[in-house]
Structures are given as structure tokens and as C-alpha cells.
Structure 1
Amino acid sequence: MQKTNPGRFFEDYELGMVIDHAVPRTVSGGERALYHALYPMRHALYSSDEFARDCGLPAGPLDDLAAFHIVFGKTVPDVSLNAVANLGYAEGRWLKPVWPGDTLRASSEVIGLKQNSNGRTGVVYVHSKGFNQNDECVMEYKRWVMLRKRDNDAPAPETVLPDLKPVLAPSDLVIPEGLDFSGYDFTLAGEPHRLGDYEIGEKIDHVDGVTIEEAEHMMATRLWQNTSKVHFDVTARPDQRLIYGGHVISMARALSFNGLANAQMIVGLNGGAHANPCLAGSTVKAWSEVLDKAETNAPGVGAIRLRLVATKGGSPFELKGADGKYLPDVLLDLDYWALMPV
């Protein structure tokens, strides 16, 4: 009997399969400190317990993307250990803040399957959820992954493609209980800009850049207990280790502070594409486009929909070529909702 886990291949998945992922993770203030050391994070709600209390929360929660990475990392051994590529995200929602002391676990359901025309790979769609120690769902998202087949002669499954929302409606967003921006301190937050100061269609160059190094990337990926081979084992790729896409997401989000310091909490993930691979030595820069704005029922709290684009040196505000394909310098195209004072 084989004791080790070689990971699942495309033909190992069945529609409706539910996978409870191993190794629950108790988080502490250490995760926050290390997250802020790995990325230039400065959003005040996550940096200061006192600022968070002034906004109606009991303390500063764990950064939303840190919670995402932990839940995502739980799923990797069962979903994407043998992935060729992580293709996209949809319908991501942060449902409850994660606090130091919480224990997170994850579960995924297979919601779609499609074998590729080459017969050697296929795409698996999963709906993943993260739960705390009280069995409360703290976040959920859907993603699709291209996987190798173990046996190219294995029969193709019936193609089933899930019906995914292109964009979450404002009514789909969950506002943390007690959140109140009516007394928001713009001086401590770092910028004076509120929701009404942003126009739909406005684009913001976040100016700063960070060069990604191998050591920091691998430390971050280990922090989330992500075991995907392409991030650690240089023999798993013909060139060099691939930077975890979530590392690029967090880096770009951190850089977006310059111009979006008051986009405090991420509450919705509409979609995302890792447009081109990121390798060590790349200097990541970012720009954003305002896609929509909405009111919420929470006092002083509005929602802003943003496109966050990470590049490795391309001109800001350039995304796709005349052929409709992403330009080679574009690393990430992420569509998300954040909460901001009105």
C-alpha cells in the first residue's frame, strides 16, 4: 500500500465529489506580522487594533488575503498539486473576519469538468470554503485548474461547465458585523480620498515597485502550507521556480495602498487571471481602474469595485494587445470589491 501522496490527476475527479482538506491551521498575530514583513502592507484597519476598534470592530482582523492564502493552501494537495496552471477565480466572498486564535480548515466540491482537446490535460472547477473552529464559513470562492492526466487513454468525463457569475452584485457582499466608518480617521489612514472622490473609469498608477526574490516567495508560500511542486522544485519546470500567483496578488494589493489607502477590506472577488508567469527577479508594479461604486447599509461604509493589474515593467494602463491577448508584461488581472468610507 502506497503511503505517500502523489496528488490527484484529472481522471481522479468526479462531479459532486467533496474533499475535506487536511491540516487545520490556528492563526496568531505572528501571521499578521510576517505577512506585513513579506509585503509592504499599510492598510490601517489591519495594522492597528485601535484603528479597527474606532471602526466598530473588536480588533484588527487578519488581512483578508492572508486568510485567503491559508484556505487556498489547504486545498493545494488535493486540487492543484499536479496543476499545469491555475486558470481563474469567481464568486469569492469574505463572509466573516478571521481573528488571531481562530482555527481554519477547508473543504472543496467539484462543480465542473472538461477534458482538453489534446487528451492529455483537463480543467477541474471547484467550490472551496474555509471554516473556523465554530464551523462558520469565513470565506468561499470558485476556481478552475488545468491538470495533467495520469493515463492519456483514460476516457473523458462528460463535460459540465458551472454557471458562474461574472460579477458579484453589491447585495452579495457581506459587511462585517459592527463595521462603522462614520468616524473614520483619514489622517491616520494615510490619505483623504473617500468613495465620492473616485470616478468610474478612473485609473490610478500606484507608482511603487518591488523586485520579487526567491527566498521571500518560498517563505511566503510555505507560510500558507502550499505544497505545489512548481513553486519549490526547479525540476518541476524547465526554466525556474514559478512564483505563487497569490504572492503576486498580495504584492499588488500592498502596492495599491498608494492611491487606494482607504480601500480597507476586500469582501468580494469577481474574477482573476494570472496572465503571464512570474519568475524571481521580476519587479512588480501595479495600477488600478475603478469599475463601479455602491452604497451599503453599514454606517459610513461604501463599496468600490476595482480592477487591480500587476505588471513587470510595462507601461501603466496597458492591458491587452490588438489581438485581445494580455500583453507579455501583464502578470495579474484581478477584479474585486473593497469597503471604503463614503
Structure 2
Amino acid sequence: MTKTSAGRFFEDYAVGDLITHAVPRTIKMGERALYHALYPARHALHSADTFAQACGLPFSPLDDLVTFHTVFGKTVPDVSLNAVANLGYAEGRWITPLWPGDTITATSEVIGVKQNSNGKSGVVWVRTTGRNQHGEALLTYVRWVMVRRRGDGPVPATVVPELADSVSPDDLVIPRGLDFTHYDFALAGEPHRLGDYRVGEIIDHVDGVTIEEAEHMLATRLWQNTAKVHFDATHRPDGKRLIYGGHVISLARALSFNGLANAQLIVALNGGAHANPCFAGDTVRAWSEVLDTAPTVAPGVGAIRLRLVATKGSAGQLRDAEGRYLPDVLLDLDYWALMPA
């Protein structure tokens, strides 16, 4: 009897399937140290207990993207081990902060399937939820993936889910106790509050980071992401290892500190696309566009909706005249963050 697994192929998914992902992960301060070593992450709320306590929290939570990467990594063996591409995200919400010592588990529900016209692959939509050891939801999001077919057997009936264009500000979950009324702008690194940003404003985050082969593979292993394209140079015809898209997300988010140092917490993921592949040797830069702002019920806390773009090119450049992503664009991410009102 075969004891190894080649992973799931498109034919192995059916709407309504609930997948329990293996290998719970207890997250401690080592993850923070590694995260800050891998990315130029400097947001104060995720760096210092004293700063977090002055903002009403018991201590500093782990970076929001640590939650995302850990949950995402749990799903790879069951959802995207045989993926051609990770196509997009929607309806993402961070619900409970991740504290040092928490144990993460994850499940995914298949909510859509559609075979591609070439007959060699199909798109699978899943809604993934990460939970802590108390059963509390940490994060939930939808993603869709193009997955290879195994052969010429029967395929599941097409179901394409209806997804919201964005998360409503009314549905944003504010961490219990968060209070920015005595926020220390000097310690945070910039003076800008919510009212200083205008819808349509473009922020060039100025700095760049050149990706090295070793660091992206270290990061991907840290999140226990087993996708072959990130490690196996024989898996692609060009002999290159594809950079994990989440690595690009974290680089861009960290670079956004320069201009958005007070966008302290990510609370929703409205949508996103990995527009073009990223490889070792690429220098990643980032820019943001302000899409919306909203008040929240928490004292002194506002919400800002941002488009975060990772690129090898210039700030503000996204699509060509036909509406296609420019070849230098790596990531187009739409999210909500919390900052002082």
C-alpha cells in the first residue's frame, strides 16, 4: 500500500467538502524574531509590549501576516500542492489577535469548482478558517487556485461562488481594548493620522529589497508551505524556484512602513492578485493608494482601506491601456488597516 501522497488534483474536490488540515502549530516569540529578520517589519504595535499596552492591549500581538502565513501554510498540502497558480483572495477578516503561545489549526471548505476550457486544470475556491487552541477564529478568507487535473476521468459539476467586492467597514473586528486616544506618534515613527490621508492619494514607499534564494526558501519553510514550485528547481521548465506570494506580501507590507507607519493592524483582506511571478534576484518596491477611510467604534481608532502594490517598476504604474497588469507588477492587494483617527 502506498504511504505517500501526491496531493489532491482538480477531480478530488467537490463543493461542500470540509478539509481538516494537518499539523497544528504553536507560535512563540521565535516566530517574531524570524519574521523581523526576514522582512523590514517595524510597526510599533507588533514590536513592543509597552507600546501595545499603551494602546489598550495586554501585550504585543504577533504580526497579522504571521497568522496569515501560518494558516495558509497549513492548507498547501490539501489545496495547492498541485496548483498552477494562486489566483486571488476575497472576504478575508482577522478576528482574534495571535498571541505568543497560541496554537493554530486550520480547516477549509470547498465552495466552488470550475474546469478550465483546456481540460488540463480547473479552479477551486475554498474558504479557510484558522483557529486558536480555544476554538476561536483567528482569521478567515476565501482564495481560489488553479489546480492540475490528474487525468481524463469525471470532473465535479461547476459551481462559481458569489463573493463580496470588499469587506464592509461595519464588519471589521477591532481587537478588544484597542484605544488610540493616547497614541504616541513619536514612538510609532510618523505623525500622520487618518485625517491626513485623502482618497486617491498615492504613497511611494521609496525603499526596495532584493530577494535572495535562501531567504525566500527559509521563509516558506518557516510557514510549513510545501508547494513544489518554491523549492524544486526541476518543477518549472525554466529551472527557477517561484517566490511564495506571501513572501512578496510581507515584503511590501513591511516596506509600507515608510509613509504608513501608523497603519498598525491589518483587519481585512478585500481582494488580491499575484499579477506576475517573482524570482530570486528581483528587487521589490512598494506603493500604496488610499481607497477609502471609515470611523470605528473603538476610541481614537479609524480604518483606512489601501491598495498595496509590489512592483519592480515605478510607483503609481499598475495596468496598460488594455487593462492588463504591467509586467513589473508582482502584487495588487486591497486591505483594511487600523490607525489613529
Gaps of 5+ in 2: none
Q: Which whole-Å deviations, capped at 9, do the CAs of 1:258-278 have from their partners, x for residues lacking one? A: 000000000000000000000
Separation of aligned partners in 1, 2:5 and 2:29: 32
Give the paired residue count.
340
Partner in structure 2 of residue 74 of structure 1:
74
Give the share of equivalent positions with the same residue, in percent.
Answer: 75
Question: Residues 171-320 of structure 1: matches in 2 within 5 Å?
Answer: 171-239=170-238, 240-312=240-312, 314-320=313-319
Partner in structure 2 of residue 125 of structure 1:
125
2:10 and 2:155 in contact (8 A); partners too: no
CA root-mean-square deviation: 0.5
Structure 1 residue 155, shift from structure 2 partner? 2.4
2:114 and 2:122 in contact (8 A); partners too: yes
2:128 and 2:142 in contact (8 A); partners too: yes
Letter in 1 for 2:25: R
Separation of aligned partners in 2, 1:204 and 1:101: 36
Letter in 1 for 2:58: P
Partner in structure 2 of residue 29 of structure 1:
29
Separation of aligned partners in 2, 1:167 and 1:208: 29
Partner in structure 1 of residue 103 of structure 2:
103
Separation of aligned partners in 2, 1:215 and 1:236: 18
Letter in 1 for 2:120: R
Letter in 2 for 1:212: I
Separation of aligned partners in 2, 1:297 and 1:157: 44
Letter in 1 for 2:27: V
Q: Which whole-Å deviations, capped at 9, do the CAs of 1:27-56 have from their partners, x for residues lacking one? A: 000000100000000000000010000000
Structure 1 residue 157, shift from structure 2 partner? 2.1
Letter in 2 for 1:207: V
Structure 1 residue 315, shift from structure 2 partner? 1.7
Letter in 1 for 2:35: Y
Separation of aligned partners in 2, 1:168 and 1:72: 20
SS in 2 for 1:235: coil
Partner in structure 1 of residue 326 of structure 2:
327
Separation of aligned partners in 1, 2:153 and 2:253: 41
SS in 2 for 1:234: coil
2:203 and 2:259 in contact (8 A); partners too: yes
Q: Which whole-Å deviations, capped at 9, do the CAs of 1:68-89 have from their partners, x for residues lacking one? A: 0000000000000000000000
Letter in 2 for 1:76: V
Q: Which whole-Å deviations, capped at 9, do the CAs of 1:14-34 have from their partners, x for residues lacking one? A: 110000000000000000010
Q: Which whole-Å deviations, capped at 9, do the CAs of 1:137-171 have from their partners, x for residues lacking one? A: 110000000000001x2223221111100111001
1:38 is aligned to 2:38: yes
Separation of aligned partners in 2, 1:315 and 1:250: 19
1:141 is aligned to 2:141: yes
Separation of aligned partners in 2, 1:169 and 1:14: 29
Letter in 1 for 2:33: A
Separation of aligned partners in 1, 2:34 and 2:180: 27
Letter in 2 for 1:252: A
Structure 1 residue 65, shift from structure 2 partner? 0.4
Q: Which whole-Å deviations, capped at 9, do the CAs of 1:204-256 have from their partners, x for residues lacking one? A: 00000000000000000000000000000001112200000000000000000
Separation of aligned partners in 1, 2:27 and 2:314: 38
- Compute the TM-score of the two structures, normalised by the length of structure 2: 0.99
SS in 2 for 1:199: coil
Separation of aligned partners in 2, 1:121 and 1:306: 33
SS in 2 for 1:145: strand
Separation of aligned partners in 2, 1:164 and 1:172: 15
Separation of aligned partners in 1, 2:5 and 2:219: 23
Separation of aligned partners in 1, 2:2 and 2:51: 52
